[in-house]
Structure 1
């Protein structure tokens, strides 16, 4: 199902004027370099060649679900076995090579066949298009929308012969979770995370190796942390983690920075992951939060607690 037309931002000029300095100060206070060590973004940062960055990034983003201390060793082990150049590895990869690499691989929903589809699809994209960027841009030009471009991208990556893979590694199990196609109405968080890494920057966090896509086109990688904080800050009134909600949050963020709407994503997501902004607000945390002047939930929590902010 294709998503509806993006809704207009509900963020007023007054709200944007109050929120922007809070977010700017908040981002400046975030030790992004230290946080990268706890983020799947650490993997593409290991490489210098753009093609190696692309391949390692998409593999890392695709498996970046669940606890970081569980998926990071899985990604690390695969990249170590793929050698110094992940791009060269997938360009030459065949079914037998995939079997040797992925026999017995299991991570939560995914088994070796699922990951083999992704790796073989990336190899085909590099051979036929020269880069993952070129494959994505082809879909963007053809479909004319971000959702359409991502749908075309994942469909192309999954266009590999399945019968030989199933014979070598067994049936797929969580391929739709790893690489959704059709894309559907979900937020596609990990794919949009990959695109943020590729398109934004370089700024010490995102790598900015794709030059044919503008940061203004990016969609927020919406997960439970971003969804919760976005509601606190008035970026959306929606409760679900759908594509429409991601569009609404991004539209609000464009009122703050039309050219780079998702630049606050890394800091906000890690803030939520850290537990400092939990699902149930904690008065002591809210009183010290740099976002409190723009956070309706935090202000209510502090008022109900009968304490004053100590920032």
Structure 2
């Protein structure tokens, strides 16, 4: 397929899927329950972190998370007492259990009290203009507080060649600003041109069929290759094509 034809094809798919009906079946519906910036980003982060497996189960368990945070995640994180975390003890989403959830609340409190919040900690602060180092640095800050080793696996590290799919998805939600009002665009200090596609089985398989990706593994090297090709289609908003790749894979079985 010619580059011009591919762009036209993918742009049509973006229009098809990047609209409010997408929210109804996607985990992004959880942060859409909130209007306060900090509530949106915390709800989005926790939802993204458990976004692997069955989407219905992800949405159900993310809703349970919000209930346990009294449906006021920012206030809970800032003002909770250690005894408030006891109610988490029945929570589990696949390998993410109550110990991990409790740790995440402690780490998020540390980030909001000492590091000006998620937007600041995930910012790109070097000349690379990629989130690879930013996500690595974020993981270091996240685990500055005392923690159990088991919880570290729930935050990926792109410097160890992880695709960091869930954090890249979360970044898309927060940074990308579109008129369709699916993504939030509330992180004004970040640039959507720097975003990377959340690479998973579906988007990876479709990208390979469309010759946007040759690398077989879904790792950070594959993310970088896909980034390079998507930026040729749209320099300013390359990650809008996540809607096309995901929609083609999940809804159309492309």
User: Would you call these one fold, judging by a TM-score over 0.5?
Assistant: yes
Q: CA RMSD in A?
A: 2.0
Paired with 1:161 and 1:63, the residues of 2 have a C-alpha distance of 22
Equivalenced residues, count: 252
Match of 1:223 among 189, 200, 204: 200
Match of 1:135 in 2: 121
For residue 103 of structure 1, report the CA deviation from its aligned partner.
1.0
Structure 1 counterpart SS, 2:25: coil
Match of 1:213 in 2: 190
Match of 1:62 among 32, 37, 49: 49
Match of 1:104 in 2: 90
Paired with 1:265 and 1:181, the residues of 2 have a C-alpha distance of 21
Paired with 1:216 and 1:81, the residues of 2 have a C-alpha distance of 35
Paired with 1:96 and 1:114, the residues of 2 have a C-alpha distance of 16
Structure 1 counterpart SS, 2:132: helix
CA contact (8 A) 2:206 2:248 kept: no
1:153 equivalent to 2:106? Answer no
Question: For 1:247-266, what aligned pairs fall within 5 Å after superposition?
Answer: 247-266=224-243
CA contact (8 A) 2:156 2:162 kept: no
Paired with 2:158 and 2:18, the residues of 1 have a C-alpha distance of 37
Higher-Rg structure is 1
Where in structure 1 are there 5+ consecutive unaligned residues?
1-13, 163-170, 279-311
Question: For 1:187-202, what aligned pairs fall within 5 Å after superposition?
Answer: 187-202=163-178
Question: For 1:1-311, what aligned pairs fall within 5 Å after superposition?
Answer: 15-30=2-17, 32-98=19-85, 100-137=86-123, 140-141=124-125, 144=128, 145-162=130-147, 173=150, 175-180=151-156, 184-203=160-179, 204-274=181-251, 276-277=252-253
Paired with 1:148 and 1:94, the residues of 2 have a C-alpha distance of 33
Name the stretch that deviates more: 152-161 or 233-242. Answer: 152-161
Match of 1:3 in 2: none
For residue 110 of structure 1, report the CA deviation from its aligned partner.
1.6
Does the C-alpha gap of structure 1 residues 153 and 214 become closer, same or farther in structure 2, counting only changes over 3 Å? same
CA contact (8 A) 2:161 2:220 kept: yes
TM-score, structure 2 as length reference: 0.91
For residue 172 of structure 1, report the CA deviation from its aligned partner.
6.4
Paired with 1:182 and 1:20, the residues of 2 have a C-alpha distance of 28
TM-score, structure 1 as length reference: 0.76
Where in structure 2 are there 5+ consecutive unaligned residues?
none
Paired with 2:25 and 2:65, the residues of 1 have a C-alpha distance of 18
More contact order relative to length (CA 8 Å, sep ≥ 6)? 1
CA contact (8 A) 2:22 2:182 kept: no
Does the C-alpha gap of structure 1 residues 161 and 177 become closer, same or farther in structure 2, counting only changes over 3 Å? closer
